[in-house]
Structure formats: C-alpha cells, structure tokens
Amino acid sequence: MPPVAVATDSTSYLPRALADGEGIHQVSLYVGWSADRERELGMAGFDAFYERLRRDPDVPTTSQPSIGDFLAAWEPLLDRGQDVVSIHLAGGISGTCEAARQAHGLLAERGLGERVEVIDSETACGGMGLLLLAASAAARAGADKDAVAERVREARRALRIWFCLDTLEYLRRGGRIGKAQAWLGGTLKIKPILSLEYEIVPVERVRTAGRAFERMVKYAGELRDSGSDGWVVQHIQATEQAQRLIDRCREIFDSEPVFTSEVGPVIGTYTGPGLIGVGALPRTLLS
C-alpha cells in the first residue's frame, strides 16, 4: 500500500476503470434540476442529462461536495495509515476546493491536518485527470505527501489544455464565463476556443466548426513540439469529432492517448454539448 493516497472530486472524468485501477478516491459533486438533483458519480450515463439540457429552458444547478463528503473519503484512508493529497476543480469556477479546505480545517483541529494536503488544480477535466495520474505515479513509487504534492505542482506548471465550444450560450447562462465575458458583446454565433487557468480564459474565436477543429489539431502539434507528449482528448456529445481529433493526434504524437472520455454534467452544464478538448504534459511526469 502506498504511503500516500490520492483523492479528488468527480470533475476530472477519468474513465472509472482507470481511476479505480490507480487507486484514486473520488468525491462527487451534485447536479440536476431541483428535486432531480443527484450525485454525478452515481449517474449511469450522461445522454439523458444532455438531452434535457438542450431542450429545458431552466438551467440545472450544480453544487460542491459537503464538508462531510470530504471527511467520509479521507478518514478511512487516514485510519489505515495513509496520508492524503486531495486535488480539486479550479477555485475560479467552483467552491469545491474551498469546501475541501474547510474539511481540512476540521481535521487540523483534531491534530490530523499535517496528514492531508489540499491542492487547487487550477484546471478541470482532462487537465485535472493528468495531474491525478502524475500524483498517482509518484505515490506508487513511494513518495511522501510533500513529494507527491510537488509532483502535482510540477505537472500543473507543464500542463496545457484547450477546449472548443459549440456556443458561448451555456457559459453565459451559467455565469461561469470568466475572462471570456468580453466576447459576449458580439454575436454568440462563433466557435470559441478557451483555456482554464484558474478561471475560463479566452484563446481564439473562429467562425466555423471546421476552422475550430483544425486549430485544435494545430495546437496538438504545438504541444508535441514543446515536449508535451502525454495527451488526452475529451468531448461532450461529440463522439465523431472527438474520434477525428484522436486520429489526428495519434499521427501527431505517434502514440496512444493517456486516456479519452466524455465530460460529465457538472462541467457540461456550463459548456453545453459539442465541446471537444485536447491537452498534454510531458509523459515523463506520469511515470
């Protein structure tokens, strides 16, 4: 058993088998419409949610885990003798990391604070998934809590990730548009390319889906040229486009992706269907 356990929330969207195989412990966020609110990790699939999101004029709500949720995940790990590094969704778009810090404060009152480190990933989705795999690799190698946390920070400095949306409308509706707010002065009929550096950051805007796709492919080449060769692709209800991007990235990187997956409803509420994203960091950080 590694001396350090890696914990997170549900918004990395690592494939479940991969997360379980790496021993990554997840705490679920919540999402839904009023009485239909549920744990994201408990959802059997995402198709029904996204179908309703497209047609329902009411915006679903999302909420972070409770302090009790974090303690319920961490305490069994502490009881079996492991320290914990807990890595969470960017604080610029969610209160999840702050709730984790409050839970950590309660542990500190019991003299256990030194055994848990809470880290704001300053990213989400595939980017956070890569940080988790970097942490897991360090933990498996026998690193202590401080060394695992430093690996996460090193990986975050190296991480680059972009995503393209079909429309800005969902970000506007959900109020999580960040620095892309300036783009709302014009038409919403653009294909925005964005990044996440603690909050949503605008990168480029193009007029057609085809141009957006080719720009994402070009970005993958830039990642490879910079030495970031551990790559991921994610999407929301865009299986065909994601597969095309995966195929192009296989040619660019001459390797298989670290993982691919669909982004779930907590993030999808604010981005909407049609998202495709690509990101990478040096594969050496994952070993």
Is 4-29+64-157's fold the same as 160-286's?
Answer: no
Helix (H, G, I), strand (E, B) or coil at 66: coil
Strand partners, 4: 83
Contact 159, 131 (CB under 8 A): yes
Helix (H, G, I), strand (E, B) or coil at 1: coil
What are the tokens at 252? 């660019």
Q: How far apart are CA 11 and CA 9, in angstroms?
A: 6
Confidence class of residue 270 from pLDDT cuts 50, 70 and 90?
Answer: very high
Q: How far apart are CA 190 and CA 193, in angstroms?
A: 9
Mean pLDDT over each residue of the chain, to the nearest integer? 93
Q: List the chain domain ranges.
A: 4-29+64-157, 160-286
Burial class of residue 109 in the structure, from the number of CB atoms within 10 Å of its CB (0-12 exposed, 13-18 middle, 19+ buried) = exposed
At 63-81, the pLDDT tens digits run 999 999 999 999 999 999 9
Tell me the pTM. 0.94
Q: How far apart are CA 130 and CA 146, in angstroms?
A: 18
Mean pLDDT of 163-187: 70
Mean pLDDT of 173-183: 61
Of the CATH numbers 3.40.50.10170, 3.60.15.10, 1.10.357.10, 3.10.580.10, which one belongs to the domain with range 4-29+64-157?
A: 3.40.50.10170
At 206-264, the pLDDT tens digits run 989 999 999 999 999 999 999 999 999 999 999 999 999 999 999 999 999 999 999 99
What count of residues does the chain have? Answer: 287
At 37-54, the pLDDT tens digits run 899 999 999 999 999 999
Q: Which class does domain 160-286 fall in?
A: alpha beta
